[in-house]
Structure 1
Amino acid sequence: MTEPTIARRAYDGDRPDGVVSFREMQHGTADDYALLDRYERLHAGGLADRLLDTLARLTDSLGGYQISRLEHSLQSATRARLDGAGVDWVVAALLHDIGDELAPYNHSEFAASILQPYVPAEVHWVVQHHGVFQSYYYAHHLGGDRHARDRFADHRWAPLCVQFCADWDQNSFDPDFPIHELSSFADDVREVFGRVAWAPEVVAVGSERLVA
């Protein structure tokens, strides 16, 4: 079961205080849940900065590569930016592997879930499926099926995912590629995660292209 997709604005009133009256949710009152809603929206308003902090710590995970996971994320986002991609795709490229730290075997779904309430549907879909599309480049070396992505061949956004992986992911492990600093993406992250979560006009299908 998925969570309710009710549009939520960040809380912009006075900082709430107090606690609810209940010890079991079934006993909560309308006032209790109104209070919790203010706390939740206040907390959600800090998501962009928490994501930036999490990215900054991706410096020592997944050894064996010539660059850190942070550098890979920055290189991917830098390539997207230099290609002229819009802010949704730049931020998607920046965050696409943020799940490696806590969800190493389903990192794509982890990152996609973070993005979903704030980006167009095709951006969410590409991030959600980039893991299987990326496996085209290595699965056959480990006894897997590099063509696993073919089961999505008829999906309208499969070409976007192929392009995302080819242009911004599989080639972003180069220690000599000049990357943009994390701080240069802060405004982009805050723009995306400063939107009204689950707003229909946000999560609807946008431009079905990576670059305008």
Structure 2
Amino acid sequence: MKDGTKEDYELLEKLEKPYLALTPDRVLDELRRQGETTLEGYRITRLQHGLQSATRAENDGADLDWIVGALLHDVGDGLAPQNHDRFSAEVIRPFVRWEVAWVVEHHGIFQMLYYGHHYGWDRNARDRFKDHPCFQSCADFCERWDQSSFDPDYPMKPLEHFEPMVREVFARKAYDPAVIREGEVVGLP
């Protein structure tokens, strides 16, 4: 890489554009794969969990970033089950508000409130973030859209409903300061 010229890197940038443009297709394909099997012990697929979370967010009047964040908050589960929250956040981070990426990144530790004690873990481990500006957003996300979205009878919207939203978010310029709005907290509706 150190021997590359400016022209070499301009060519690479040009050649990478079509690949980058296919990012939403790869994300949607991963969601579809998550719908192929039910995880042991669960009554729904990971896709259905994401669809339920996104449907709840949309029904609550959430904006585009929250809806797509809810849909994709577990997208990393297939490749990184032990740190899926951080993996999922990295997928969306360049394209959504800072607050949404932070919530997705930390939802795993916040979810422990509901089950950690059953494993002998500290169910209040999230409290180490109690002074973070996104603490309440993450607590609300988990309570309203994540922990409640394992219901096989919940009337969720299909992936096709959310596909245009995913495409819109991933069509944004990566790391656009006008989108990221670092440090700004909107909260859930």
- TM-score under structure 1 length normalisation: 0.86
Question: Within the alignment, does 1:106 sit opposite 2:83 as a pair?
Answer: yes
Residue correspondence of structure 1 range 86-97 to structure 2 within 5 A: 86-97=63-74
1:33 matched to which residue of 2?
A: 9
SS of aligned partner of 1:66: coil
For residues 138 and 15 of structure 2, the distance between their equivalents in structure 1, rounded to whole angstroms, comes to: 36
The percent identity for this pair of structures is 52
For residues 110 and 185 of structure 2, the distance between their equivalents in structure 1, rounded to whole angstroms, comes to: 21
For residues 27 and 62 of structure 1, the distance between their equivalents in structure 2, rounded to whole angstroms, comes to: 47
Question: Within the alignment, does 1:43 sit opposite 2:39 as a pair?
Answer: no
Aligned with residue 163 of structure 1, among 119, 140, 161: 140
SS of aligned partner of 1:26: coil
Is the alpha carbon distance of 1:106 and 1:64 closer, same or farther for their aligned partners in structure 2, counting shifts above 3 Å? same
For residues 176 and 134 of structure 1, the distance between their equivalents in structure 2, rounded to whole angstroms, comes to: 22
For residues 61 and 51 of structure 1, the distance between their equivalents in structure 2, rounded to whole angstroms, comes to: 19
1:181 matched to which residue of 2?
A: 158
Residue correspondence of structure 1 range 79-158 to structure 2 within 5 A: 79-158=56-135
For residues 110 and 182 of structure 1, the distance between their equivalents in structure 2, rounded to whole angstroms, comes to: 21
Deviation at 1:41, TM superposition (A): 2.4
2:188 matched to which residue of 1?
A: 210
Deviation at 1:42, TM superposition (A): 2.0
Gaps in structure 1 of 5+ consecutive residues: 1-24
Is the alpha carbon distance of 1:76 and 1:85 closer, same or farther for their aligned partners in structure 2, counting shifts above 3 Å? same
Contact 1:117–1:203 (Cα < 8 Å) also in 2:
yes
For residues 7 and 17 of structure 2, the distance between their equivalents in structure 1, rounded to whole angstroms, comes to: 16
What per-residue deviation string (whole Å, max 9, x for no partner) do you get for residues 66-113 of structure 1?
111111110011100111100100000000001110001110110101
- TM-score under structure 2 length normalisation: 0.96
Contact 2:76–2:88 (Cα < 8 Å) also in 1:
yes
For residues 41 and 130 of structure 1, the distance between their equivalents in structure 2, rounded to whole angstroms, comes to: 32
Q: Size of the alignment, in residue pairs? A: 187
